[in-house]
Every structure is written in C-alpha cells, then in structure tokens.
Amino acid sequence: MDSHRTETPREKLEGWLRYFDDLNLGEFYVDRGSMAKRSVRRPVERAAVSPPAQPTMVAAPPEIEPAAPILPVVNVPSLFEVLDRVEGDTLELIRDNLGECTRCRLHKQRNKIVFGAGNPRAELVFVGEGPGHDEDIQGLPFVGRAGKLLTQMIEAMGLRRDDVYICNVVKCRPPENRRPEDDEVATCSPYLYRQLDAIAPKAIVCLGGVAAQTLLKTKDPISRFRGNWFDFRNTKLMATYHPAYLLRNPAAKGEVWKDLQKVMVHLGLEVKKPSR
C-alpha cells in the first residue's frame, strides 16, 4: 500500500518527472508562480474556477483538437426513468441513505464502503469503476497505485485533488477486483446519479469502460468513444482510460493527456504548450 507513508518532496518530484517523461514532455515545466497565484485566488467555489467574463485559458497548443461536438448517440434521457433528480439532495443525505448498505452481494466481503471524496462543489468529477484493495481498507477512492497516478494527472491539469470530487460506480470492492456484475451496477449506480446531481459539476470524466458504459448506457468498448464529449443530464461527460490501465499500458498516457486537455479547455484552465 503506497499511502501509509507521506512522499518526500524528492519522491514526489521524481514521480512527476516519470509521468511527464511517459508523455514525452521532456521539457515540460510548471510555472509555479502562476499556479500559486491561481491557487490563492481560486477558492473551491465553482464560479471562481471559471469566471465567464475572463476566461483563464490561453492559446491551446496546436496538437490539441478543437472541442469535439456533443454527440447525441446515447439514450441518456432513459436515466431519468431510473432516477429523477431529488430536490435539495446533498452528499450527506445520500451517504445517510446508503447507510451500512447490504442491497447487493458486494457487501459480503467489503471492509469499508467507499462513498467518494473531494470537493462537494467541484467543477470536475472523476468516476471510476469500484474500490480496490487499498480503497476497501481505507474507505477512500483511488488511494492505491492507480490513485497516485490519478493524483498526478489532476495536478498536471493545474488542480489539486481537493479541488475535484472522486467516486465510483459501485461503492464496495468486487472480490478479486473482478468487474462488477450488471445487477450490482444497477443496484448501486442510482447513488452515483444522486451524487452527480447533488454536485452538479461542469464536467464528468469517466475513468474506464465500466463507468462510461454505466453513465452512457452503452455496451460499446471505451476505445470507440473516449475523448469525445457527451451530454449527461445537462453536464458534459467524457470518457478516458482508467489509471490502472495506464499502469499496464504507459504508452496510452499521451491519449489520456489529450483527453484531459480538452477537459481543461472546457473548464477554462490554462493549457500550456510544452517548451521544446
């Protein structure tokens, strides 16, 4: 488990350098001055992240494709048949409603329910598949090796982990980290819909096929639609590869970084062209 010991600044820097090296951004640099200024003047409230009158986005690098159109290819309205919006819903209320849930068989082997963590007013929500071993022990999402990579991805976007909200489709660890069954997803995902409705972010990023297929109601492989924008209950949604997949296939990090740059543009975050 990697989260029992706080990383030294040197270890953290080395992790960053390895991450950017994988992206072939050999001379990428972070303007600490502007990041520090932004973090000071940018509180967690949504409006402060993306002031419409003064977008903070600068010229995107040439390799970034223009924002993809929203593709109306999924039957998203059917989700309203699953769960209507709950007026005045909050994350606290949803967590209370979940309780010590035994609604599906995944409760039998779990240690802790992993509800979600982060800013309840986040502009950006990451949705993964389900808890793994480390998450099950700690009750927190994305705290293992894949979580460490997700943190690097978030920080590469110029955000802190506390700025975003992170959760999963199912809240209990599937045994042996197997893929959640359809009935388990169907039982647990209404709580995810309520979380997303309560947070009302500007963008949702699905990490991996299960999250994307659940929210988009499709069985298509993620490789067919990742990197495109979709409309999910009036929020822009994009799917990209899961960090665990990137640990096994580091060459795909560049594709994920392109996806995240589109999200940055949508959020009005500064996208810097790497210096070469």
Interface residues with ligand SF4 (CB under 6 A) are 98, 101-104, 106-107, 113, 170-172, 184, 187-188
Nearer to ligand SF4, 180 or 227 (CB): 180
The rounded distance, in Å, linking the Cα atoms of 225 and 2 is: 32
Nearer to ligand SF4, 136 or 259 (CB): 136
Nearer to ligand SF4, 26 or 175 (CB): 175
Nearest to 126 by CA among 182, 190, 204, 195: 204
Considering the complex, what minimum distance in angstroms separates the CB of residue 153 from ligand SF4?
A: 25
Considering the complex, what minimum distance in angstroms separates the CB of residue 175 from ligand SF4?
A: 12
Considering the complex, what minimum distance in angstroms separates the CB of residue 103 from ligand SF4?
A: 4
Nearer to ligand SF4, 103 or 179 (CB): 103
Considering the complex, what minimum distance in angstroms separates the CB of residue 169 from ligand SF4?
A: 9
Nearest to 25 by CA among 142, 161, 153, 164: 153
Nearer to ligand SF4, 154 or 170 (CB): 170
Beta strands in the chain (DSSP E): 117-118, 124-128, 165-168, 203-207, 229-232, 235-240
The rounded distance, in Å, linking the Cα atoms of 148 and 153 is: 9
The rounded distance, in Å, linking the Cα atoms of 47 and 42 is: 9
Nearer to ligand SF4, 190 or 268 (CB): 190
Residues 6+ apart with CB under 8 A from 45: 121
The stretches of 104-242 forming alpha helices (DSSP H) are 133-138, 145-156, 182-199, 209-216
Considering the complex, what minimum distance in angstroms separates the CB of residue 42 from ligand SF4?
A: 33
The rounded distance, in Å, linking the Cα atoms of 57 and 49 is: 11
Considering the complex, what minimum distance in angstroms separates the CB of residue 83 from ligand SF4?
A: 14
